[in-house]
Structure 1
């Protein structure tokens, strides 16, 4: 976890941020909820440990939303999902219905990409853009025809 990204989350209104690399996220959430667990867990790390962590952290009858793209096959303990916790599992990954809502919110100034889109490149600079996107130096990278300058 990159500390600057946690700071960005706080800037966007997160009351609590947890660095799972240095803190026991499951214990913190259990403590915050009196041992109950979280109502909703959104997995967006793309790492198998995020799935395991979520299954441990979420409450019985909670909702698990999978938003990641994994680089390889990922397994889960289905006895937790179906038997012990009876979870509501949802898949979500930028369906076409999301774009009009996001564009509307950005257009009306009700949402911003400031701080999230950290780098911008013209399409001709795609190799550099992809290298930056794959580094920990960026949050999101914008590529656009004719783009000039940095998005940050």
Structure 2
């Protein structure tokens, strides 16, 4: 079968290669991949600014159909449509973080698509504790967004309180930002979404999803817009999803005194910032690294209840054979979520 692989360290080094089909053992579940989303992490792997273990098949946001399950598997059967928690492909299960459900901080953790072979291919074998059945009301394309939705859920639902009427600055209208926006709108927050001139289509999509205002930071005065909406106080909470170094200071400056800042986007480099702003404004600072077991419990409820509409966020579906075009489109910021499917 074909697979999109990071072949070695360094910039680029992605190739579509032939590899053997994975073997399903007595505890494994073999899944035929239906759709896989391109994630910002994949782009960081492409640029070699996110830890990975080449040679490795990349891709981790996916849905699929079970084609085989091992004899020790208890609740997942061939024919089941499933979505996958990719971050626990390997964890020690002994450290305090694993025991508390915070698997992201296990020092031995390896994730699908960076540490072990991922989903930009035809078949993936995973463990039973990684697999969740797709709700009947959800399409397989929407189900491929379960993992990025989990990233948004942790940032918006688990770290601090958002209240109806809060003014929220959301920096970055990429797929994660749009998912965060959908959750914030459902809470009754007033969300100002910022992007650049490259983000024209994404900002339009943000408006469609319920943003109170969208701002092109290259051509519009963000401070003036925020001051007009907040009587000069600043926003209650800033959520940084772009991963752009310059956005961090912009967010901190836009916060009211005693405001809250949440970092969601991966920067991939060192950033200079005025740390005294945290002191003088008494800002509460949060980092949101992916998700936890409790997050996935919430994701199931959200998906079953139809709390957010995932369909508008999916803007492009391309075959795996066109992976370079898909990555170029993602980097151009001229899309929402891009999905790929196996076409060989």
> TM-score category by the smaller chain?
0.7 to 0.9
Corresponding residue of 2:312:
115
Q: 1:94 aligns with which of 290, 295, 299?
A: 290
Contact 2:201-2:334 at 8 Å conserved across structures: no
Query: Quick check: 2:239–2:263 contact (8 Å CA) kept in 1?
Result: yes
- Asked if structure 2 preserves the Cα contact closer than 8 Å seen for 1:106 and 1:112, the reply is no
Aligned residue number for residue 58 of structure 1: 255
Matching of residue 34 in structure 1 with residue 235 in structure 2 = no
The structural deviation recorded for 1:109 is 2.6
Which residue does the alignment assign to 2:331? 134
Distance in 1, Cα, partners of 2:216 & 2:296: 30
Relative contact order, CA 8 A, sep 6+: which one is greater?
Answer: 2
Computing the radius of gyration from Cα coordinates, the structure with the larger value is 2
**Secondary structure at 2:216 match in 1:** coil
For 1:100 and 1:139, locate their aligned partners in 2 and report how far apart those are by CA, in whole Å.
Answer: 25
How many residues get paired? 146
- Per-residue deviation, 1:124: 5.2
Match of 1:78 among 275, 279, 286: 275
TM-score relative to the length of structure 1: 0.82
- TM normalised by structure 2 equals 0.39
Aligned partners of 1:74 and 1:130: how far apart in 2?
A: 26
Question: Is the CA contact (8 Å cut-off) linking 2:235 and 2:259 kept in structure 1?
Answer: yes
Aligned-CA RMSD value: 2.3
C-alpha displacement of 1:104? 3.8
Contact 2:215 2:222 in 1 (8 A): yes
Please give the secondary structure, in 2, of the residue aligned with 1:73: coil
Cα gap change, 1:21 to 1:103, in 2 (>3 Å) = farther
Structure 1 residues 141 and 54: CA distance shift in structure 2, 3 A: same
Greater percentage in strand? 2
The answer to whether the 8 Å contact 1:10/1:16 transfers is: yes
1:54-110 deviation digits (Å, cap 9, x = unpaired) = 11110111000111111321121111112x101000011431344443354234332
Among candidates 302, 310, 317, match of residue 105 of structure 1: 302
Query: Is residue 2:216 matched to residue 1:19?
Result: yes
Q: For the structure 1 residues 129 and 101, does the alpha-carbon distance in structure 2 shift closer, same or farther, using more than 3 Å as the test?
A: farther
The alpha-carbon deviation at position 31 of structure 1 amounts to 2.1
**2:202–2:333 CA contact under 8 A, matched in 1:** no
Unpaired runs of 5+ residues, structure 1, are: none
